[in-house]
Amino acid sequence: MRWNRVFEREKLMLSVAIVEDDRKYSKLLEGYLERYSAENDVKFKVDVFDDGLKFIMGYDGDGGYNIVFMDVEMPRLDGIKTSRKLRATDKNVSLIFVTNMAKYAVSGYEVDALDFMVKPVDYFNFSLKLEKAVRIQNKLLRDVILVGVGGGFTKLKTSDIQYVESSLHFVIYHTETEQIKSRASMKDTEKKLEGMNFARCNNAYLVNLACVKKVTGDEVIMDDGQTLSISRSKK
pLDDT tens string for the chain (235 positions)? 334 444 444 445 899 999 999 999 999 999 999 999 999 999 999 999 999 999 998 786 555 899 999 999 888 899 999 999 999 888 889 999 998 876 666 666 778 899 999 999 999 999 999 999 999 998 887 788 888 888 788 888 888 899 999 998 999 999 988 999 999 999 999 988 988 889 999 989 999 999 999 898 889 999 888 899 988 888 7
Angstrom distance (rounded) from CA 135 to CA 117? 18
Nearest C-alpha neighbor of 38 from the set 162, 114, 123, 145: 123
pTM score of the predicted model: 0.65
Exposed/middle/buried for 124, CB within 10 Å: 0-12, 13-18, 19+? exposed
* Helix, strand counts (H, E) of the chain: 6, 15
Q: Are 23 and 73 in contact (CB under 8 A)?
A: no
